[in-house]
Chains A and B, each alone.
Chain A
Amino acid sequence: EVQLLESGGDLVQPGGSLTLSCAASGFTFNNFVMNWVRQAPGKGLEWVSTIGITGNTYYADSVKGRFTISRDNSMNTLYLHMHSLRAEDTAVYFCAKDFLGSLAPDSWGQGTLVTVSS
């Protein structure tokens, strides 16, 4: 069974940094494209970042230059390194795995809450 478990969410001050982790199990992690998607309180889904199986990375304009996605295939873990955090980054952050060959996220974690506030 595929499992994705996010961690690292916290209350952080504006301008601060935080790293989120997503521990993956139940599938061959290095064979799949992985994503971060966020959802601000009461709002819709917003794509944040994607990392391919060869390590190529893509970012939403809203986080480009501030967030870095990475993966450790030996640890079956996905990361999101977040810097220069803003109030508008407050959200539940989900990691999601793509369905092979479909470019569609078929498995999601439960999410971890990041709150940016002074």
Chain B
Amino acid sequence: DIVMTQTPLSSPVTLGQPASISCRSNQSLVHSDGNTYLSWLQQRPGQPPRLLIYKIFNRFSGVPDRFSGSGAGADFTLKISRVEAEDVGVYYCMQTARSSRSFGQGTKLEIK
């Protein structure tokens, strides 16, 4: 099974400053079809998760452009260019490259 490891697990950030979350897998997430199925989701307090990014860097509909994804193979990053108050929550990476899917442990983004 693929294990996803996120760092940091907690990220205190000043409003208006950037934030970055790393996600690493223990094997490549390149699918046999050539795509890399790595997504990022946000979960605000008391809410279900929300899709932000799919296939490494594609922003889902309605997601602000301050969110960006990058990476390749087994090493990925989510960046928020300028953190806003509404960005508080837990961020998860998720791999769907294999039939057995898995999430990272989650990174809690909080405002300093």
Contact = CB atoms under 8 A, between A and B. Distances in A.
Contact of B55 (A37, A44, A60, A102): A102
- A-side binding surface: helix, strand, loop or mixed? strand
Interface residues of B, number: 26
A94 B90 contact: no
A110 B32 CA distance: 33
A54 B41 CA distance: 26
B11 interface: no
A108 interface: yes
Nearest to A107: B51
A47 B102 contact: yes
A61 B1 contact: yes
A96 B101 CA distance: 13
A7 to B, nearest CB: 15
Contacts of B57: none
* Chain A interface residue number, banded: 20 to 34
A105 B99 contact: no
A35 B100 CA distance: 11
Given A58-B100, A104-B94, A45 B49 contact: yes
A104 B55 CA distance: 8
Interface string B75-101: 000000000000000101010110111
A61 B101 CA distance: 11
B21 to A, nearest CB: 14
Nearest to B46: A110
A37 B50 CA distance: 13
- In the A-B complex, the 3 residue pairs with the smallest Cβ-Cβ separation, listed nearest first, are A104-B54, A103-B96, A108-B48
Given A44-B92, A102-B37, A103-B54, 11 more contacts: A44-B104, A45-B49, A45-B92, A45-B106, A47-B100, A58-B101, A59-B100, A102-B39, A102-B58, A108-B48, A111-B48
Interface of B: 1, 37, 39, 41, 43, 48-51, 54-55, 58, 60, 90, 92, 94, 96-97, 99-106
Interface of A: 35, 37, 44-47, 50, 58-61, 94, 96, 99, 102-106, 108-111
